[in-house]
A and B are shown apart, each in its own frame.
Chain A
Amino acid sequence: MSQGPVMVIVMILFSLLATSALVLLATSVLGPRINRPAGTRPGERGDACDDAPWSAPWEARSTPEGRDPSPQNRDAS
């Protein structure tokens, strides 16, 4: 067998092993230890979730339907 097909097989095995290693590392080893609820770190106070960027004042504008769908504007309406 020439070197080319061997390298392809090596790459396939390497990728499968690397994928498994990364998934297990992320989900079983590191994730449970270093992930924590957002908003519990200095600097994240009061801004636990970055969702709804429409709240930025210069981004608040109407949609083509004529209504800003951002949550706070919905509340205001």
Chain B
Amino acid sequence: MTALTHPALVLIGAAPLVAVLPRRIGAGATALAAALGLALVWRLEDGTRLTHDLYGLELTLLEATALARPFALVFATVGLLGAIYGWTLMNPIERAAGLATVGAGIGVVLAGDLISLFVFWEFKVVTVVLLIAARGRPASAAAAQRYLHVHLAAGVILLGGVLWQITTTGSSTLTGFGPGGSGLYGSGILILIGVLVGAAAVPFHAWLPDAYPAASLTGAVLLSAITTKSAVYVLARTMAGTEILIWVGVAMAVVGVTFAMLQDNLRRLLSYHIVSQVGFMVAAIGVGTAAAVNGATAHATAHVLYKGLLLMAVGALIYATGRDRASALGGLTRALPVLLALYMVGALSISGLVGFSGFPAKELAVTSVGAGGATVAQWALKFASVGTFLSVGLKLPALAWGGAARGSTTPIRSIPGSMYTAMGLAAVANLALGLRPQWLFGLLPSPESFTPFTVAKVAESTALLAATAVGFALWRYRLIGNTIKVSTPTTSIDIDALYRELPASVAARRSASPAADEPTATTTTGTMSGPDTVIPHAHPRPVNNPIADRGRQVIAHTRSLIVTPGPVGPGWLIGGSVAGAMVLVLTVILATVGS
């Protein structure tokens, strides 16, 4: 094994190349590199290692384990699907960032020590920022900045945990921090917090529905596969059996599905469902038995495939119609029937209908949670399953495809064959794993004898979904009618209000009430409603005093740097967060060195 055959390094190395190639050649090279990455992952055998000596510290850049392999395999698969899907869509930066993101995700799951894991983890943050910003819109740039700040702060906390562990034990071995693990308790807590932010665990989840809808159509597909699932892998590898994760997972499942019910934006709705579905995995990891870790892995594998398909289908819908709100669509059943069929494969998979990939995966995860003694958590996950089918399987297609066309009519743009090809392949994969669950179970870290196709399990699952459909029919007017009534786009306040709106409202209040001797309102620092909003000038500014004017401009500009509620919130908040995290790390290091 050499660095030239490390799948992550190959993909990351190919990224700059595809960025400089002409459009068509670049698209082909991206697909070729992704296929090569998949082939390299496929031929990895358990126990394969790649080490590198760094100033006397042995780094394990690659350690193929039974747990890592399914994650790496499905990451590489979705990388190839993304390359096909985005063949005609992606710009050079997007292609490079996409390949590098997939490479970084594979690097995380194949890393064999804490330092390698951290380096790949943080590299992934950078590539994801590029992937979000590559859409080239103001909202994308703003979301990318918020993503960067949230994950930098989390990365600093993660680094604190890594350094604590290494400086105390003298080893960077990727060890377990859960029950029975040899990791330190304190460093484990810091690592847990850092990884939970990456997993979009409640209450650190708001970055996800903020960032994914802002990314490009292909970017969202790749993000849904890599970001949270690499965090799930790290949790499964290092934190299995940590009981608090059961309830963190339950909170994610319920909060995610509840907020998804409120969404009109197609991709934001699916983003909240990522939070919810990852909750299933986190809860199973919290149980920590071999069957539960298998369940989390199976669910992660299936989730990457069906969520990728859902985001591809919704992306194609946005591409075709130019609209990304369900309430602004409708009447598309005849115009886009194949797309509806492909979407429904993903929707029925995520809902856990028999015959689709979500059924064996979700059954294994939920059953293992119950078998681990967490009966309340098991029922909470079933509650979340109801909400999943309700919004992804029923509400979204009913709004987006069903009924009459709403809003102003625009011509439907032809969807490229490459997009259909990628969606078709993902649909086949979902059906294959649903009909042949042994293929999915064969990838799992421990031997799995779970049998999903029993009469009881099939009957229970079918009853759950059928009754949900009846409930949807009963509440249909209230559920869909409310969305149609919304004539303007809406957005939901989430936990990110803490770092987006509270400081902004404080700043706006300060801007709106200038001191009497400070007539600088015409150079307002802006309010939450945007830069176009100018607060009326309460005290007309005196004229014919250029020096005083210049002085006011400098003061206003300085203030704007500090308190402007811009795309990432006020600078003092971000700076304070990062500085606080750094102080935390320094404290940890000093305490460790002192002891």
Contact = CB atoms under 8 A, between A and B. Distances in A.
Interface of A: 3-4, 7-8, 11-16, 18-20, 22-23, 25-27, 30-31, 34-59, 63-65, 69-71
B472 A19 contact: yes
B345 interface: no
A4 B464 contact: no
A3 B456 CA distance: 9
A20 to B, nearest CB: 6
A38 B468 contact: no
The 3 closest A-B pairs by CB, nearest first: A19-B471, A15-B467, A45-B530
B413 A48 contact: no
Interface string B279-320: 000000000000000000000000000000000000000110
Contacts of A20: 471, 474-475
B569 A42 contact: yes
Given A19-B472, A47-B139, 4 more contacts: A23-B478, A42-B528, A45-B532, A48-B488
Interface residues of B, number: 77
B479 interface: yes
A60 to B, nearest CB: 11
A56 B136 contact: yes
A43 B471 contact: no
A44 B139 contact: yes
Nearest to B138: A47
B504 A15 contact: no
Given A27-B478, A70-B322, A22 B390 contact: yes
Contacts of B136: 56-58
B568 A43 contact: yes
B453 to A, nearest CB: 14
Interface stretch (B45-53, B254-262, B426-434, B576-584): B254-262
B468 A27 contact: no
A55 B136 CA distance: 10
Nearest to A68: B413
B491 A8 contact: no
B217 interface: yes
20 contacts: A3-B456, A4-B459, A7-B460, A8-B463, A13-B467, A15-B471, A19-B474, A20-B471, A23-B479, A26-B479, A35-B492, A38-B488, A41-B500, A42-B501, A44-B139, A45-B530, A63-B413, A64-B414, A69-B413, A71-B410
